[in-house]
C-alpha cells in the first residue's frame, strides 16, 4: 500500500531525504539572496537616486517676474516627472537683490559679470551635470547682445540644448554672430514655432540635424467655466474680453481700449479685463506713465463699467481662473511683428479661447486653420468688427473655441516635458523612461542595456 508521500511525488519513502535536502538547501539559498538584495536596495536607495542624470538649467527663474522665468520653472518641473535631477542657475541683475528660495537654485549668475558665467560652469562640473539646458533671449544675458552666454556654453563639458525665445528674420550682424558662436557647442536648438525652423536654416545657416521643434508648454486647462467661478470674480452675466501679461508700452492695449466703444454698442455686457502689473523693469526705469495713460483713456471714453484693470502679478491658479472666465482673448501687440513666441497666446489657445490678434509671427502660425482671427496692426476698427461678430455669432464662436482647444492638447506641459525628455535621453544614450520606479530599478540592478518599453 502506497503512502501519501508516494502517491503525491511517486517516490518511495526511502528516497524522501535524498529528494528534500537539496530542495531545502536551494530554498534557503534563494531566501538569503532575496534578503541580501532587499538590504542592498534599502542601503543604496539614496545612492541610486544620485546615479540619475543631472540636468542644469540656465535662464531667469522665479521669483523674477518675466515670461522666460516662468517658462524655465515649467520646463524644470515637467522634465523632473521623468526622473531627472534638476539644478538651476538663475541669471539676475545684482542690484535687484532677488531671494531665491527654491532649493533647485544652486547658483545665481550675475548677469553683467563675465567671471560669474565661468564660475557656474565650475559648479556644474563639481555637481556632475550630465546635460545643460539654456533658455536664450539676447536681453537676459550680459555683454553685447548677451554675448557672455557663449563663454558658458563653450566651457560646458556636457551636451548642450538651447531653447530660443527670439529668432529674428533680420538679425543685426552681432545678433547673428552670437547664434553662430553658440552653434559649435550646441547639440540642439529648440524653436517653439515652425517658422523658427525655417529661419534657423535660411537666415542663420543652422543644419537641420540641430533644429528641433517643441511647442511652448501650457497648463492643462478645462474647456468649460462654471457659474460659481464667474460669481466669485464678479463677472456673472458679462461677456469677457481679456489681455494678460506684464504691461508695457509695446503691448498696444490702448488700441484694444479704443475698440471697446463699438464693441459695447453691440453688446453692452462686454467687459475688457487688463490683467497684470507693469513690467518691473519699465516700472523701475519709467514709472507708471503708461498705465496712467490707459486709465485716463478709459475715463475719457466713458468705459469705467466696461474696462477693468487687475494690477497685480498673477499666480498660475489666478491666471487659469481668468482664462476660464474669458470669452475672447486679445493680443494687440504691435511693436515686434517678428515675435516668434508668445506664452500668453499659447496659454489662451490651450484654454480654448476665441483669440483675436495682430499678425506677428507666432500668431500667424498658431491661429492658422480657423483657430483664431488676425487683424492689422493698430487697426482698432477691425478689432471691434471681429469682436462684435464673434459675440453675436454663437456658431462661429463655438467652432473656433473647439478648434483652438483641440490644437492646445499638443501643448500641455505633460506633452512638452516628454518631448524635452526624449531629446535629453537621446543625447545621453538612454532609453526614455517616464517613472522614477523604472529608473531606480535600472540603477539598483546596474543594467547597462536600455530597458525595453511596452
Q: 77 near 413, Cβ under 8 Å?
A: yes
Within 86-172, where are the H helices? 114-126, 148-155
Q: How far apart are CA 6 and CA 12, in angstroms?
A: 6
Q: Give yes or no: residues 89 and 117 share one domain.
A: yes
Q: Give yes or no: residues 32 and 149 share one domain.
A: no
The answer as to whether 454 is a domain residue is: no
Q: Is 369 left (phi over 0), alpha (psi -120 to 50) or beta?
A: left
Residue 344 pLDDT = 92
Q: Give yes or no: residues 257 and 397 share one domain.
A: yes
Q: Give yes or no: residues 177 and 204 share one domain.
A: yes
pTM of the model: 0.80
Q: Give yes or no: residues 167 and 264 share one domain.
A: no
Question: Considering just the CA atoms, what is the radius of gyration of the chain in Å?
Answer: 29
Q: 82 near 418, Cβ under 8 Å?
A: yes
Q: Which of 179, 237, 186, 182 is nearest to 209 (CA)?
A: 186
Residue 150 pLDDT = 98
The answer as to whether 452 is a domain residue is: no
Q: What is the CATH number for 333?
A: 3.40.50.2000
Q: Give yes or no: residues 180 and 296 share one domain.
A: no
Q: How far apart are CA 405 and CA 348, in angstroms?
A: 9
Q: How far is CA 221 from the centre of its chain?
A: 14
Query: Domain limits at 172?
Result: 51-217+413-445
Q: Which residue has the cell 511525488?
A: 9
Residue 437 pLDDT = 37
Q: Give yes or no: residues 262 and 397 share one domain.
A: yes
Q: Give yes or no: residues 152 and 93 share one domain.
A: yes
CB atoms inside a 10 Å sphere around CB 122: 11
pLDDT in tens, the chain (454 residues): 555 445 544 545 455 455 555 555 655 665 655 565 555 544 544 444 445 789 999 999 999 888 899 999 999 999 999 889 999 999 998 777 789 999 999 999 999 999 999 999 999 999 999 999 999 999 999 999 999 999 999 999 999 999 999 999 999 999 999 999 999 999 999 999 999 999 999 999 999 999 999 999 999 999 988 889 999 999 999 999 999 988 888 899 999 999 999 999 999 999 999 999 988 878 888 889 999 999 999 999 999 999 999 998 888 899 999 999 999 999 999 989 999 999 999 999 999 999 999 999 999 999 999 999 999 999 999 999 999 999 999 999 999 999 999 999 999 999 999 999 999 999 998 654 444 434 444 443 443 333 333 2
- DSSP strands (E only) in 263-327: 270-275, 307-310
Q: Give yes or no: residues 431 and 384 share one domain.
A: no
Element housing 198 (H / E)? helix 194-202
The answer as to whether 451 is a domain residue is: no
**Residues comprising the chain, all counted:** 454
| Beta-ladder partners of 373 | 356
Residue 252 pLDDT = 95
Q: Give yes or no: residues 333 and 266 share one domain.
A: yes
| Structural domains of the chain, count | 3
Q: Which of 411, 418, 420, 427 is nearest to 193 (CA)?
A: 411
Q: Give yes or no: residues 161 and 266 share one domain.
A: no
Q: Which residue has the cell 543604496?
A: 44
Q: Give yes or no: residues 326 and 285 share one domain.
A: yes
Amino acid at each position: 500500500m502506497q503512502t501519501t508521500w508516494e502517491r503525491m511525488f511517486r517516490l518511495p519513502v526511502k528516497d524522501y531525504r535524498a529528494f528534500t535536502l537539496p530542495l531545502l538547501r536551494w530554498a534557503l539559498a534563494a531566501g538569503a539572496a532575496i534578503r541580501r538584495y532587499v538590504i542592498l536596495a534599502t542601503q543604496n536607495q539614496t545612492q541610486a537616486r544620485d546615479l540619475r542624470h543631472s540636468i542644469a538649467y540656465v535662464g531667469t527663474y522665479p521669483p523674477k517676474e518675466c515670461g522666460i522665468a516662468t517658462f524655465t520653472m515649467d520646463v524644470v518641473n515637467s522634465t523632473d516627472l521623468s526622473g531627472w535631477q534638476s539644478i538651476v542657475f538663475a541669471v539676475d541683475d545684482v542690484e535687484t537683490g532677488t531671494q531665491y528660495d527654491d532649493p533647485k537654485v544652486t547658483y545665481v549668475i550675475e548677469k553683467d559679470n563675465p567671471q560669474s558665467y565661468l564660475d557656474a560652469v565650475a559648479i556644474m562640473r563639481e555637481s556632475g551635470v550630465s546635460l545643460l539646458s539654456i533658455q536664450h533671449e539676447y536681453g537676459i544675458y550680459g555683454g553685447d547682445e548677451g554675448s557672455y552666454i557663449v563663454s558658458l556654453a563653450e566651457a560646458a563639458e556636457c551636451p548642450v540644448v538651447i531653447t530660443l525665445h527670439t529668432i529674428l528674420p533680420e538679425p543685426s550682424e552681432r545678433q547673428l554672430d552670437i547664434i553662430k558662436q553658440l552653434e559649435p557647442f550646441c547639440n540642439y536648438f529648440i524653436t517653439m514655432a515652425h517658422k523658427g525652423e525655417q529661419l534657423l536654416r535660411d537666415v542663420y545657416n543652422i543644419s537641420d540635424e540641430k533644429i528641433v521643434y517643441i511647442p511652448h508648454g501650457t497648463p492643462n486647462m478645462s474647456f468649460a467655466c462654471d457659474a460659481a467661478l464667474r460669481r466669485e470674480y464678479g463677472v456673472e452675466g458679462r461677456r469677457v474680453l481679456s489681455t494678460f501679461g506684464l504691461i508695457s508700452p509695446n503691448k498696444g492695449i490702448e488700441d484694444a481700449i479704443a475698440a471697446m466703444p463699438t464693441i459695447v454698442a453691440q453688446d453692452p455686457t462686454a467687459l475688457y479685463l487688463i490683467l497684470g502689473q507693469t513690467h518691473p523693469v519699465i516700472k523701475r526705469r519709467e514709472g507708471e506713465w503708461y498705465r496712467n495713460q490707459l486709465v485716463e483713456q478709459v475715463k475719457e471714453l466713458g468705459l469705467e463699467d466696461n474696462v477693468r484693470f487687475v494690477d497685480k502679478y498673477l499666480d498660475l491658479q489666478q491666471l487659469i481662473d481668468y482664462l476660464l472666465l474669458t470669452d475672447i482673448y486679445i493680443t494687440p501687440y504691435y511693436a515686434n511683428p517678428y515675435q516668434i513666441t508668445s506664452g500668453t497666446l499659447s496659454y489662451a489657445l490651450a484654454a480654448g479661447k476665441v483669440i483675436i490678434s495682430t499678425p506677428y509671427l507666432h500668431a500667424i502660425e498658431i491661429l492658422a486653420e480657423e483657430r483664431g482671427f488676425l487683424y492689422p496692426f493698430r487697426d482698432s476698427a477691425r478689432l471691434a468688427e471681429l469682436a462684435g461678430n464673434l459675440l453675436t455669432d454663437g456658431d462661429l464662436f463655438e467652432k473656433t473655441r473647439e478648434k483652438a482647444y483641440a490644437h492646445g492638447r499638443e501643448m500641455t506641459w505633460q506633452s512638452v516635458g516628454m518631448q524635452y525628455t526624449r531629446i535629453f535621453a537621446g543625447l545621453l544614450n538612454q532609453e526614455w523612461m517616464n517613472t522614477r520606479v523604472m529608473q531606480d530599478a535600472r540603477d539598483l540592478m546596474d543594467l547597462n542595456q536600455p530597458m525595453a518599453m511596452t
